[in-house]
């Protein structure tokens, strides 16, 4: 199909498609004349993926390029996938973070964490520091309970990891990490409203 048809089918403007081509997020079509290229189903699928990662995933163009590159060139080991996905979605944190309290928590929970991954412990340390400087440090029991519940989340996710195809595993880990995060946060907010309504009362719902 031509670029205008690709735009129509995916609901992505032609100018945006050209931007993705320039940014090397989308692979080139096959040239049928010096000024015209043909696109196929692989371009449709890739465009949908790009939209999902840039939109609800909330990632930058550079991060999406990196993730797509890993999807196209998967690592040898399934376990390495997680490191790649976690590294790609990691947001830079401030300097001078003390990781020792986080290491102590990890030991306390008996978790096996990649020695080479400093990003994820740093993300937790940064988040905990944010709470602390806001005068809102979490009590140990609360943190333990959060860890317990997130371990149950992770357990289900890793148990469902596809093992028959590496490509499927890569998609699962990368997309599961990035795109499920906003699902969990939205669910938490809705569940808070429900818990709050049951505790403090709320106006009755009108019929839908």
Residue 186 CB, nearest distance to a second copy (Å)?
Answer: 4
Q: Which residue lies nearer to a second copy by CB, 37 or 169?
A: 169
Q: Which of 8, 32, 48, 165 binds a second copy (CB under 8 A)?
A: 48
The answer to whether 95 contacts a second copy (rule: CB under 8 A) is: no
The answer to whether the CB of 88 falls within 8 A of the CB of 174 is yes
Sequence-distant (≥ 6) Cβ neighbours of residue 82 within 8 angstroms: 114, 173, 177
The answer to whether the CB of 164 falls within 8 A of the CB of 71 is no
Helix boundaries (H) for the chain: 3-10, 14-22, 41-54, 61-72, 78-89, 100-109, 119-133, 140-159, 166-200
Name which of 59, 81, 89, 87 is nearest 161 in CA terms. Answer: 81
Which parts of 158-177 interact with a second copy (CB under 8 A)? 158-161, 171-172, 175-177
Q: Which of 18, 27, 45, 108 binds a second copy (CB under 8 A)?
A: 45
Q: Segment contacting a second copy (CB under 8 A): 25-33, 34-42, 61-69, 189-197?
A: 189-197
The answer to whether 15 contacts a second copy (rule: CB under 8 A) is: no
The answer to whether 101 contacts a second copy (rule: CB under 8 A) is: no
The answer to whether 201 contacts a second copy (rule: CB under 8 A) is: yes
């Amino acid at each position: 199909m031509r670029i205008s048809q690709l735009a129509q089918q995916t609901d992505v403007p032609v100018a945006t498609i050209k931007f993705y081509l320039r940014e090397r997020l989308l692979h080139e079509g096959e040239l049928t004349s010096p000024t015209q290229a043909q696109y196929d189903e692989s371009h449709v699928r890739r465009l949908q993926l790009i939209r999902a990662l840039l939109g609800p995933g909330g990632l930058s163009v550079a991060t999406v390029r990196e993730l797509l590159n890993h999807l196209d060139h998967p690592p040898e080991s399934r376990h390495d996938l997680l490191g790649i996905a976690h590294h790609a979605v990691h947001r830079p944190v401030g300097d001078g973070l003390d990781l020792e309290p986080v290491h102590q928590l990890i030991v306390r929970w008996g978790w096996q964490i990649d020695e080479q991954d400093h990003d994820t412990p740093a993300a937790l340390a940064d988040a905990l520091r944010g709470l602390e400087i806001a005068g809102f440090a979490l009590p140990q029991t609360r943190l333990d309970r959060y860890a317990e519940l997130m371990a149950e989340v992770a357990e289900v996710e890793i148990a469902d990891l596809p093992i028959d195809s590496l490509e499927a595993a890569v998609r699962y880990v990368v997309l599961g990490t990035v795109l499920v995060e906003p699902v969990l946060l939205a669910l938490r907010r809705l569940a808070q409203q429900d818990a709050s309504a049951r505790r403090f009362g709320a106006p009755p719902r009108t019929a839908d």
